[in-house]
Amino acid sequence: QVQLVESGGGLVQPGGSLRLSCAASGLAFSTYTLGWFRQAPGKERKFVGAIKWSGPTIYHAASVKGRFTISRDNAKNTVYLQMNSLAPEDTAVYSCAARGPSLELSGAASEYEYWGQGTQVTVSS
């Protein structure tokens, strides 16, 4: 059974930083492309970024480029999302997702097979 479990969310002030983690089990992690998505209340889910299974190819959405960085540690079966210079508009539930094996990067949620439950990130003073 595949499981993706996010952690690291919370409340942070504008301009602050958070690092989200997503620990995976039940799949050949190193062969899966991992993505991060976010969904704000009342809005549709949006792509944040993805990291290819073969690494280091990474794709970030324009809205977070230069502020957010995705990385992965295949030895720990974990993908990370480092978020800097956070702003109130970054407030959302952040979810990780996996597609594979050996598939290309994608920004489309429908192309990801496995999903975590999400972690809440709130940016507020």
Name residue 115's beta-bridge partners: 97
Q: How many CA atoms lie within 13 A of 119 on its CB side?
A: 20
Tens digits of residue pLDDT in 3-50: 999 999 999 999 999 999 999 999 999 999 999 999 999 999 999 999
* Residue tagged 């976010």 (tokens): 38
pLDDT at residue 62, as a whole number: 85
Write out the two tokens for 124. 């507020």
Query: CA–CA separation, 18 vs 21, rounded Å?
Result: 10
Furthest-apart CA atoms within the chain: distance in Å? 42
Q: Note the pLDDT of residue 9.
A: 97
55 or 111, which is more confident? Answer: 111
Predicted local distance difference test score (pLDDT) of residue 63: 85
Tens-digit pLDDT profile for residues 54-93: 877 777 888 898 999 999 999 999 999 999 999 999 999 9
Cα separation, 16 vs 55, in Å, equals 28
